[in-house]
Structure 1
Amino acid sequence: MADPIQIELVAADRVVWSGQAREVIARTVEGDLGVLAGHAPLLSLLVPGVVEIYPFEGGDTVFAAVEEGFLSVADNHVSILSEDAFLASEIDAAAVKADLEAAQKDEDGAAVLRAEAKLRLVDKAS
């Protein structure tokens, strides 16, 4: 098995998830990006979306919704920095649907993207 990569998923107010993984997938301005051990150094902008983390020693895939931010890869270490990030277990789907409807009514494109990312997370995690 390949070497593990160290993942740090960090929101402005807390560390959301930290640990070793075999792969992480995140959405950047260039599209979906998968990172495995030995990936070339990289710095990219995140867009609102779902981050998937596949733990190194098995276990359940970790799904998180992130807002805009940065993804950095160097020396088998991945840092995902976002203003706000949520694990699937922290999301109330009914509240997010209400937020989505309100954002659509207000024509708030950024809020629509954030709510849609959270709903995708709920769908992936179930």
Structure 2
Amino acid sequence: MVEEGKGTSGRTLRLEVVTPERIVLSTQVDSLILPGALGYLGVLPGHAPLVTHLTPGVVFYRYRGEEKRLAVSGGLVEITGDQVLLLADTAEKAEEIDVERAWRAKERAEQRLKERPPGLDIARAESALKRAIARLKAAGQLN
């Protein structure tokens, strides 16, 4: 029998997601998957200490069998003991995402990258596209 409030390993992780504007999330999780500098990274209780970049993408976290998502646009992640701190440039829970706005941002970024008008900051347009895609994936609108 698993103790109430504990994952199958008997332990959980404390997940804190903080942006410059607010604390987005502060909760216990059994596991999480996050977009790190070298690709997606799985984290379970007892993970080795780690500091890495957070790239635009979706953070998947699970607690008591329920999976939730949030979109992040970049930042840093620090894993220490059974605590994960995401210092994100921006972060939105799936239920907070304005899907119509995200679709418009995606289409606008794709159009700008296709047309490549003079003076286009390509890195900025690519970053905007990645952010929009992450928001849509977190909201369950893209695979």
Length-normalised TM-score, structure 2? 0.81
Aligned mates of 1:8, 1:113 — CA distance in 2: 23
Query: Within 5 Å, which residues of 2 pair with 1:30-109?
Result: 30-55=38-63, 58=64, 60-107=66-113, 108-109=125-126
Aligned mates of 1:111, 1:63 — CA distance in 2: 19
RMSD: 1.6
Q: Which runs of 5+ in 1 are unaligned?
A: none
Q: Which runs of 5+ in 2 are unaligned?
A: 1-7, 114-124
Q: 1:86 and 1:120, CA in 2 relative to 1: closer, same or farther beyond 3 A?
A: same
Aligned length: 123
More divergent stretch after superposition (25-34 vs 99-108): 99-108
Length-normalised TM-score, structure 1? 0.91
Say which one has the larger Rg.
2
Deviation of 1:101 after TM superposition, in Å, equals 1.1
Aligned mates of 2:73, 2:47 — CA distance in 1: 23
Higher strand residue share: 1
The match for 1:5 is: 13
Runs of 4+ aligned residues of structure 1 deviating over 3 Å after TM superposition are none
Q: Deviations over 1:5-64 (max 9, x none)?
A: 111011211111111111011011211101101100000101100001112xx2632210
